[in-house]
Structure 1
Amino acid sequence: MESKNYHEDLSHIRSMMERSSRFISLSGLSGVVAGLAAIIGAVYVYFVFQREGIDYFDGERNIFGPSLVKELVVTGVVILGVALLSGYIFTANKSKKKGLKIWDATTKRLLVTFAVPLVTGGFFCLALLYHHLFVFIAPATLLFYGLALVSAERYTLTDIKYLGYCQIVLGLISLFFLGWGLVFWTIGFGALHIVYGLIMHKKYK
């Protein structure tokens, strides 16, 4: 009986330490919504190309005008906004159900660790945009996002690093297939997010 209580106490202590050192309220459903938003955005971009007379799958290097580049950037910002908003809503609801604070010291450390490579990648992509090196933007977003996920793993669910590794590998592969960034971007931010989100939802619901 004493042995049973001893093990229960250890489990309780371990759980408290886990809660205090890691942000464990990330919702898998937010990943699913982010993935769906990315796929919808990619389909919209494809039809924008069609509208502009660009056959994306013909293998030709296409020249994008300023208005088209602006529309693509706005689309990317909208997708990012939807992903962030859904992430906050689902995570806040999950935290509320578990009786956990969504904003504490661990959350701050997580955001800082996640933001450093992500913001760095954002400025890098702006530089690519400025120099009209559009074909490198999709690989760069995948690479820096993957690095951000791997970096943030120490303060949240360890499973997130596997998504990060997949994004990095996909980004590296896409560097050898320049001009197919929309396809790789859709796989990385769309399909992988949905698969990861469903797995996490089933595992931690």
Structure 2
Amino acid sequence: MERSSKFISLSGLSGILAGVYALIGASLAYFILYDNSIPIDPYIHRDPSTTEFWDGDINSLLLTLSSIGLFVLIASLISGIMLTRKKARQKGQRVWSSTSRSLLFHMATPLVSGGILILIFLFRGYYGIVSPSSLIFYGLALVSASNFTFTMVKYLGLCEIILGLIAACLPGYGLLFWAIGFGVLHIVYGSMMYFKYDR
């Protein structure tokens, strides 16, 4: 029944690649943050217009880190779309169906809401909550979308939520938790999906 009523063309390999891209992005962010000795105290609310950061300009730092995040997102989406289309063709399943539309809608609602909230946090200077929020809202999106695809997606979502809550309790380790959540967990999930469904 799961295979007839759910979208089963998600590719495990795309999960692995998304994890690899996230680890590359986290590594770049780490070197930008820590090789420049940027003083980031997650307990302090900062006014982005007055805080001295990398080259004295918080905006250039945020732009650089946002560009890395955008690269990770775009690379993951391109890989995911290409590999999902390939798998759908192999299985004789349409990529754009009522099931895939429902999956995207249920995933997009928490993602868009969370993305807007995270932008508000950034503009207000609440940098320490960005990583936990991104993990939590991404996890909520996966749990919401899991009704329309493999059950394993729900477990990935729950792990992301738990990791985000732990990250919220341990300010200062946001980048590490982000790398674990979007990098390591995706590689583990993608590998399990690949060996269970793709081969």
TM-score by length of 2: 0.89
Aligned length: 188
Asked whether 1:44 is paired with 2:23, we answer no
Match of 1:154 among 125, 130, 147: 147
Match of 2:106 in 1: 113
Structure 2 CA distance for partners of 1:49 and 1:169, relative to 1, 3 Å: same
User: 1:50 offset after TM fit, Å?
Assistant: 3.5
CA RMSD of aligned residues (A): 2.0
Structure 2 CA distance for partners of 1:60 and 1:199, relative to 1, 3 Å: same
Higher RCO structure, 1 or 2 (CA under 8 Å, sep 6+): 2
Match of 1:91 in 2: 84
Question: 2 CA distance for matches of 1:136 and 1:77?
Answer: 19
| Divergent runs of 4+, >6 A | 58-62
Question: 2 CA distance for matches of 1:60 and 1:135?
Answer: 7
User: 1:47 offset after TM fit, Å?
Assistant: 1.1
Match of 1:53 in 2: 37
SS at the partner of 1:175?
helix
Asked whether 1:201 is paired with 2:194, we answer yes
Question: 2 CA distance for matches of 1:23 and 1:166?
Answer: 21
Report 1:180-199 matches (<5 A): 180-199=173-192
Is this contact kept in 1: 2:43–2:171, CA < 8 A? no
Report 1:120-131 matches (<5 A): 120-131=113-124
Question: 1 CA distance for matches of 2:188 and 2:39?
Answer: 29
TM-score by length of 1: 0.86
Question: 2 CA distance for matches of 1:202 and 1:73?
Answer: 33
Match of 1:11 in 2: none
Asked whether 1:28 is paired with 2:12, we answer yes
Match of 1:101 in 2: 94
Report 1:136-175 matches (<5 A): 136-175=129-168
Question: 2 CA distance for matches of 1:47 and 1:145?
Answer: 25
Question: 2 CA distance for matches of 1:107 and 1:200?
Answer: 18
User: 1:46 offset after TM fit, Å?
Assistant: 1.0
SS at the partner of 1:100?
coil
Kindly name which structure, 1 or 2, has the bigger radius of gyration based on alpha carbons. Answer: 1
Question: 2 CA distance for matches of 1:154 and 1:59?
Answer: 36
Identical pairs, percent? 46
Match of 2:127 in 1: 134
